[in-house]
Structure 1
Amino acid sequence: MSMQYDYDLIVLGGGSGGLAAAFRAAQHGCRVAMLEPGELGGTCVNVGCVPKKAMWLAADLSGRIGLAAALGFDVPTRAALDWKELVVHRQAYIANIHASYLKRLNENGVVRVPRKGRLVDAHTVECSDGIRISGAHILIATGAHPQRPDIPGAELGKVSDDFFHLCSAPGQVAIVGGGYIAVELAGLLQALGSRVTLLVRGDRLLERFDAELTAQLAENLCHQGVKVHFNYRLRELRRDGDAVVAYGHDGPSDGHFDEVFFATGRRGNSAGLGLEALGIEVGDKGEVEVDEWQTTAVPSVHAVGDIAGKVGLTPVAIAAARKLMDRLFGGQPHAKMDYENVASVVFSHPALGAVGLSEEEARARFDDVRVYRSNFRPMLQALANGSQRSLFKLVCAGPEERVVGVHLLGEGADEILQGFAVAVKMGATKSCFDDTVAIHPTSAEEVVLMR
């Protein structure tokens, strides 16, 4: 590596993408510095995937206890949760991740600088304490943050980060939004004791997912007790004593809530990085503009993860960072991230997963599309007289019926989807599954794949 600079790589941000890049570059023998003023792990570990999954598991247990009671077990229909005790276990788990990351950084010789950084030129970063360091390459991996809508009283609402500061379930909760964060928070809070109202601006949930699956998800949420209002345009929030009142454009007061959460999008953490002065373009949502190789208009400056505005998923950030490091330092000049057919999971109740094209996208792209589906109540739901339904869709295109999309709403969707994701990437056809996948009846209802 060149000794012209202090480091071969300077990483701004210690989230999933930044850590993956630092570890892979160090494995290639690079001198690496990482600037991160906060806790290691970024959004995913601290206010995202990890604590969310912990709360999701608790909510799932709550639902299963209710099913057990319906089946005759001597347990309460709705078991009380010591929320503070759950938070203690959750944060202890996260602390172990922090310690593990720090240990790996030390073992790999990565220098951690607990400061913010600002680009001075194509190879120089100024730390927030005024010290400057230079690097052959600079990676921006500063992530994104949730944003509030520009409406009167927006300061009265909270964002998804604030959910993890709760120590008890609020009584009445409004969640503004219809994306995956809104859906996940709605299911979690409803299962853990809140009464949730979901205020959705559009006419459906999860616009990037298959419409039939999201319609079934909306029905499931309603059966769980969540009130879902579509085509709702929030005008303002006002304080009324201890409550927050939501007002829509199409009517008077729409409800008094103990808490209102905004799940109305995220914005890249690009402010204050000095990008514009270097000619690096920043998009409308604060994302750093990069090419298909994760490189900005300045050849030595790159970006991965949420800040790059591609696919905002932790595994994608990790994969993109590793590909970039392999290209820059690993002798693999053609290594780049493939953003096609990326598997995505929403931790609703039950989970929803998808890979490839939705039915709508497939019909817009191909002339010959066939869809196979199975919609049923899982056996446990049927036995306990539950109302939750699962849905499985296989979207095929062309005379050979190549599988171009797989969509799952049901228990274990996050795990089952992985195998289908590989099959879709390899160009599998429906015939590949005909003799290997047996769809067994799992309830009193018939379960078959049918057109």
Structure 2
Amino acid sequence: MSETSSDFDYDLFTIGAGSGGVRASRVASAHGAKVAIAEEHRVGGTCVIRGCVPKKMLVYGAHFAEDLEDCRRFGWEIEGKRFDWKTLRDNVLDDVTRLEGAYTNTLENHDVEIFKQRATITGPNEITLGDGTKVTAKHILIATGAHPRMPECQGAEHAISSNEAFHLDELPKKIIIAGGGYIANEFAGIFNELGCDVHVVNRGDRLLRSYDEGVRDRLLQISTMKGIKFRFNTTFEYIKPCDDGGFFVKLSDCDEEKADLVMFAVGRIPNTKGLGLEAAGVELGDNGEVKVDRFSKTNVDHIYAVGDVTDRVQLTPVAIREGQAFADTLFGGGDPVAVDHSCIPSAVFSHPPIAAVGMTEGEAKNKLGSVKVYLSDFRPMKNVLAGRNERSLIKMICDASNDKIVGIHMIAPDAPEMMQAAAIAVKAGLTKADFDATTAIHPTMAEELVLMK
């Protein structure tokens, strides 16, 4: 005889209260399931507590440095301006606390029971909480996210990750940031705008490998112009504390130097250690990720996983969609729902920001053979009047055989805001002719999308 929901304490037990886990839990509960969730840190997960949300607030705060400089050409004089890091830091952390409360209220309002402690799988359908309490669940969802990778070099323990960047007591005069991905470039921009001497060190030979070459080259050019120093094809040999504060840092291609802070932003590792997954028979990948099918199900019938812990696409909106699809599939009573992981738009909140959707020019040529590329390389109107020599780039990639737009890539002020709407068109399979037939909104940067020849 098969087990029914009444044989268990819960229909669903979720481990991890980040974006994916919270969405899955509240939707499952709305469908009538009895749901509990465990979180050993803070409700909200990486995005809300130590990721996208506080990072974007720091980006806003940092961008005032340029706005205050540019405003003089627009007739504004601001006397005695000064920046106080602790004011920005504390206001950001206060808002994080507010959001943590909002996420907690969402769960409680949907009758999801919250356990603020660690949970591990200790048997078939069995979870043991940090205080030793054992509970059972018909279905278990792993939504534990990921954590920053810290490389192995002598003295690596003296470096910080992005997690600690939000809590600094003071800004460093000089910071060395290791990494070439979006986190490294975003924090390089933030620290640079706030007056730090920023050095970005990358073991490879390029930034933002997954982004279009033209866009990432433009970011490197602009970032260098803003004073950020880049070093490629180099690795850390050691980090040693100095007696008078700061650190001696030795890189493979140069002499020892001194820095006030070293930050590693070299990728993220799924949080699967110590969860009891191996003992439960759950298959893990080479990076420790939980392996799942298109419906987020593991090789163990009652165990599922969503979000960064699966290492499919490590983006908050993707985790939310996976959580929603999981809950609808298991508890919604309709047909199974799978998330489409193709054509996902993304952004890098650098200075200026990057946004992209679809294939890069290189990917499109490899896959389609014949492509048409349209470019708009321009100086935004605001930059012209401000006297800021900073050009934007918008690139459209089309399949030459049918005019279909297969990729859009841009680096420009507010590029992510423009891209959200443009991504709908690319996802829907619209053509260059569809864009050409759309009247421009003038004067805007976004009008370049419908005016490219």
**1:145-160 matched pairs, under 5 angstroms:** 145-160=147-162
Structure-2 residue corresponding to 1:278 = 280
Structure-1 residue corresponding to 2:130 = 128
Taking the aligned partners of 1:72 and 1:229, their CA distance within structure 2 comes to 39
Structure-2 residue corresponding to 1:346 = 348
**1:54-65 matched pairs, under 5 angstroms:** 54-65=57-68
Shift of residue 122, structure 1, vs aligned partner? 3.3
Greater alpha carbon shift after TM alignment, 291-300 vs 94-103: 94-103
Taking the aligned partners of 2:105 and 2:254, their CA distance within structure 1 comes to 56
Is residue 16 of structure 1 aligned with residue 19 of structure 2? yes
- Rate the CA distance shift 1:181–1:447 in 2: closer, same or farther, 3 A: closer
Taking the aligned partners of 2:45 and 2:32, their CA distance within structure 1 comes to 25
- Rate the CA distance shift 1:377–1:167 in 2: closer, same or farther, 3 A: farther
Q: Give the 3-state SS of the residue equivalent to 1:3 in structure 2.
A: helix
Taking the aligned partners of 1:283 and 1:45, their CA distance within structure 2 comes to 27
TM-score (norm 2): 0.95
Among 320, 336, 339, the alignment partner of 1:337 is 339
Greater alpha carbon shift after TM alignment, 331-340 vs 297-306: 331-340
List gaps (5 residues or longer) in structure 2: none
Structure-1 residue corresponding to 2:411 = 409
Taking the aligned partners of 1:232 and 1:449, their CA distance within structure 2 comes to 42
Give the CA RMSD over aligned residues: 1.9
Cα deviation per residue 1:26-64 (whole Å; 9 max; x = unaligned)? 110110000112211011111101110110110112211
Q: Are 1:199 and 1:228, in contact at CA under 8 Å, matched by a contact in 2?
A: yes
> Percent identity, aligned pairs only?
40
Taking the aligned partners of 1:370 and 1:291, their CA distance within structure 2 comes to 35
Structure-2 residue corresponding to 1:236 = 238
Q: Give the 3-state SS of the residue equivalent to 1:158 in structure 2.
A: coil
Among 41, 46, 50, the alignment partner of 1:47 is 50
Amino acid at match of 1:208: S
Q: Give the 3-state SS of the residue equivalent to 1:120 in structure 2.
A: strand
Cα deviation per residue 1:206-254 (whole Å; 9 max; x = unaligned)? 001111100001111111111111222222222333232222223322x
TM-score (norm 1): 0.95
Shift of residue 439, structure 1, vs aligned partner? 7.8
Greater alpha carbon shift after TM alignment, 132-141 vs 91-100: 91-100
Among 429, 433, 436, the alignment partner of 2:435 is 433
Shift of residue 178, structure 1, vs aligned partner? 0.3
**1:79-94 matched pairs, under 5 angstroms:** 79-94=81-96
Taking the aligned partners of 2:100 and 2:444, their CA distance within structure 1 comes to 41
Structure-2 residue corresponding to 1:144 = 146
Cα deviation per residue 1:310-358 (whole Å; 9 max; x = unaligned)? 1000011001100111111112333011100011111111111111111
Q: Give the 3-state SS of the residue equivalent to 2:253 in structure 1.
A: coil
- Rate the CA distance shift 1:179–1:126 in 2: closer, same or farther, 3 A: same
Q: Are 2:435 and 2:449, in contact at CA under 8 Å, matched by a contact in 1?
A: no
Amino acid at match of 1:202: G
Structure-1 residue corresponding to 2:114 = 112
Structure-1 residue corresponding to 2:250 = 247
Structure-2 residue corresponding to 1:66 = 69
Taking the aligned partners of 2:205 and 2:295, their CA distance within structure 1 comes to 36
Is residue 37 of structure 1 aligned with residue 40 of structure 2? yes
Cα deviation per residue 1:413-432 (whole Å; 9 max; x = unaligned)? 11111111111111111100
Amino acid at match of 1:329: F
Cα deviation per residue 1:347-402 (whole Å; 9 max; x = unaligned)? 11111111111111111101110111111121111212212221111111132211
Taking the aligned partners of 2:363 and 2:439, their CA distance within structure 1 comes to 25
Taking the aligned partners of 1:124 and 1:333, their CA distance within structure 2 comes to 28
Greater alpha carbon shift after TM alignment, 239-248 vs 335-344: 239-248
Among 310, 314, 330, the alignment partner of 1:312 is 314
